[in-house]
Amino acid sequence: SMVKTRSDINQESNERRGIVNKAFKLHENTVDAIRSLAEDSEKSQAQLITNAFDGFYTPLPAGYENENGEYISSDIYIYHPYGLETWLIITNVRDEYDEEIEIDIDEINFEDMINHFISQHLPGLHINNIKIFYTPILGSGEFYRPNFSKLKQEMYKDSVSLFFDLFHEMPTLFRYKNLQMVPMIEGSKEYEKLTKLY
């Protein structure tokens, strides 16, 4: 039997989910909606897509392969609550091959998930402007954020992988280390904003 490569698996996964626009991981219905909207408005498709990503509309598929070779997938919403800040809200973490398996927060490798996601989707953004949150289910009111006492952000030292932004061609040179998530305290400004999202 042929060994499947990661790109074969991604391709199959995209086809299964109906994702047609690889750059933005957009679903076929979304692309159709954007096309028809572009025809009715003065804005180009590219402009409409950019606008969509400035709001809290479509989650992007994310994930990583764990040490057992299983692909753990999730959805990440990109939210811009303030001018320069980008918030990533991770949710729906599941086993790509067996969605019945419940995944406990302690089993999630947030570091791999986020580094992979940033390199794919957000190259060129300075990491200090990114805040990360996790919720098992959107709307549950249960949120986690990184444990700042354990969190390190450092430059790639050995091999600098350059991922180019579609527009600015700026490389991502940072990575998260020791990304542990801890429950958020109700009443913080961020918590209030997060609970209002969905």
Residue 189: Cβ within 10 Å count: 8
pTM across the whole model? 0.64
Note the pLDDT tens digit of each residue in 158-177.
444 444 444 444 445 567 88
C-alpha span between 169 and 121 (Å, rounded): 13
The amino acid present at 47, given as its one-letter code, is: Q
Tokens 């909606």 belong to 33
Indicate if the pLDDT at residue 153 is higher than 60.
yes
How large is the average pLDDT for residues 124-128?
A: 53
Residues 27-83 have pLDDT tens digits of: 666 667 667 777 776 766 666 655 555 444 568 889 999 888 889 999 998 877 665
Strand runs labelled E in 51-183: 60-65, 71-79, 86-95, 130-134, 144-146, 152-155, 174-177, 181-183
Whole-angstrom CA distances from 187 to 49, 90, 144, 190, 191 are 33, 20, 13, 8, 6
**φ, ψ dihedrals at 124, nearest 5°:** 95, -15
* pLDDT of 97 strictly over 60: yes
